[in-house]
Amino acid sequence: MSSGLRASARLITATAVVTAYVALHLVITAGLDLRARDRVGSTGGDQAALEHDLGLSATLAMWCAVATGVFVVAALWLRHRRRAGVAEIVEVVGRIAPSQPWWRRPVFLAASGAGYGLFAAGFVAVSTAQSRGYQLPLATQVFLLPTGLAVLGAGLLILRFSRPRSVRDAVRALLADGRRPVLYLRSFADDQTAARVDDGANLNIHSREEQLAQVLRAFGPVIAVGKPGEPLPHLGAARFYLPYDDWQPAVLRLMELSQLIVLHLGPGEGLWWEVEQVIATQPEHKLVLLAPGRPADVAGRLDELLPTPSRLTEVAAAVPWISAVVAFGPDWTPHVYPVEPASAAPRGGLARRAFKAASAPLLVITPARRVARAVKAALAAAGVRRRMLVLRSEAGMLVTLGKGLLVLAALALPYRALQLFGIG
């Protein structure tokens, strides 16, 4: 599925959800108007005004329902197109899937929804207490801040437990997106470092790999081979699993089908076999290398495979996790960009600085953001450009808060339905 068609599909699906939400609200409003008309009719009130309101609500609900039906049909057709476009890739990654009870993901998705709602409610309460506390009565201040912190903490604990259990596997991620994937290759020994959640002045629940995957999703769904026997998949790239003795043919096929291959250099003969195969069989613009914190350990072996030395040890910065990003131009000419250390001065134009100032309470300056900068620069040098790559790595908490606010908005429907039955 092309990027334009995918954007249209997402817009149509979102419009269908919004119109369905509005239609349900209008149906409940019509029911409340009907109750009010019957109640006023028995007391001799303004019957004509209530009849007008009832007719208007019913008409609007009908048209919203019709619009919802049209958008749902279009969304289902585009869903079929999306799934057909990735059928071959799904067949490759879906050969071995860990067996899970059918109820597991729906249950933990519901739990995650509750966590997002509590997080948003707690965040709003704490922010209100901090920014407008002086305008509130003392009793309200005393209640609002500790209660908000408790609700916020409960939401974070629920999310920490439920998100790994509700995450999409690679098959679901491919079917949901429809684009050719980004294949993320690394040593399993790097998973613990990538799973770290970096502390900061602000709230952060997203691991390094999650933030990196969010950047790479600008190109396509990010998939990775999962470590055999792991009890839960790490958050970030969507996992699929391969047999011990027959993984190489599947990886080779996925290299061909992927639009980008991101490879984190490290130990392991299997990983270096993958590096050799990419260089031998794939076009140079498809490969992005992530150098580890100690590039000297891999620089020599990498240069043996390249026609032009990378000079990785001369360029890479002395930072943990990922020290440099390498993209390739024609004839495998390496473009190496260091990951700047935490003390580097902030960059960006006026618009970027304005965005950072407005969203500062939700953004955490993490190593993943600095890696995103290096990825953007390296790809641009190789002729591949995508906008807002760095902002994608910074927007995790904005997305979390947005999901929570959507959950709270969805709870308005049950509340109005209870009003309709005289309970609320």
Q: What's the rounded Cα separation, in Å, for the pair 126 and 111?
A: 22
Q: What's the rounded Cα separation, in Å, for the pair 277 and 255?
A: 9
Model confidence at 150: pLDDT above 60: yes
Residues in CB range of 142: below 8 A, 6 or more apart: none
Confidence of residue 345 (pLDDT cuts 50, 70, 90): very low
Long-range pairs, 33-42, Cβ under 8 A, ≥24: 33/57, 35/420
Q: Comparing C-alpha atoms, which of 227, 221, 222 is closest to residue 247?
A: 227
Q: What's the rounded Cα separation, in Å, for the pair 216 and 135?
A: 44
Q: What's the rounded Cα separation, in Å, for the pair 394 and 397?
A: 8
290-313 pLDDT per residue, tens:
999 888 889 999 999 999 999 898
Q: What's the rounded Cα separation, in Å, for the pair 238 and 226?
A: 8
CB neighbours of residue 395 within 10 Å: 19
Model confidence at 346: pLDDT above 70: no
Please state which of the ranges 40-54, 91-105, 409-423 shows the lowest mean pLDDT: 40-54
Range among 158-172, 193-207, 309-323 rated most confident = 158-172
- What 8-state DSSP symbol labels residue 259? S
Cα separations in angstroms, 72 against 75, 79, 142, 178, 359: 5, 10, 47, 18, 34
Say what the pLDDT of residue 147 is: 93
> Model-level pTM?
0.85
CB neighbours of residue 25 within 10 Å: 17
Confidence of residue 42 (pLDDT cuts 50, 70, 90): low
Q: What's the rounded Cα separation, in Å, for the pair 210 and 203?
A: 15
CA angle 180, 193, 267 (to 5 degrees): 80
Say what the pLDDT of residue 47 is: 67
Percent of the chain with pLDDT over 70: 88
Residue range 132-154: mean pLDDT, rounded? 84
Say what the pLDDT of residue 202 is: 58
Cα separations in angstroms, 261 against 26, 47, 69, 140, 223: 48, 68, 40, 54, 10
Model confidence at 19: pLDDT above 50: yes
Token pair of 181 as six digits: 């994937």
Q: Which residue has the higher pLDDT, 39 or 78?
A: 78
Token pair of 151 as six digits: 């609700």
Residue range 352-362: mean pLDDT, rounded? 50
Say what the pLDDT of residue 348 is: 53
Say what the pLDDT of residue 128 is: 85
Backbone angles phi, psi at 258, to 5 degrees: -85, 150
Model confidence at 156: pLDDT above 60: yes
Q: Which residue has the higher pLDDT, 133 or 85?
A: 85
Residue range 24-47: mean pLDDT, rounded? 71
Residue range 30-45: mean pLDDT, rounded? 67
Q: Supply the Cα-derived Rg of the chain in whole angstroms.
A: 26
Amino acid at 234: H
Q: Where are the alpha helices (DSSP H) in 42-137?
A: 47-85, 87-93, 104-132
Residue range 92-118: mean pLDDT, rounded? 89
Token pair of 400 as six digits: 């979390």
- What 8-state DSSP symbol labels residue 381? H
Model confidence at 113: pLDDT above 90: yes
Model confidence at 201: pLDDT above 80: no
The domain limits of the chain are 3-85, 178-406
Q: Which residue has the higher pLDDT, 49 or 225?
A: 225
Residue range 212-230: mean pLDDT, rounded? 93
Contact 237, 209 (CB under 8 A): yes
Say what the pLDDT of residue 191 is: 93
Q: What's the rounded Cα separation, in Å, for the pair 35 and 323?
A: 67
Residues in CB range of 30: below 8 A, 6 or more apart: 54, 57, 58, 61
Torsional class of 294: left (φ above 0), alpha (ψ -120 to 50), beta (otherwise): beta
Say what the pLDDT of residue 211 is: 93
56-94 pLDDT per residue, tens:
878 888 999 999 999 999 999 988 888 888 999 999 998
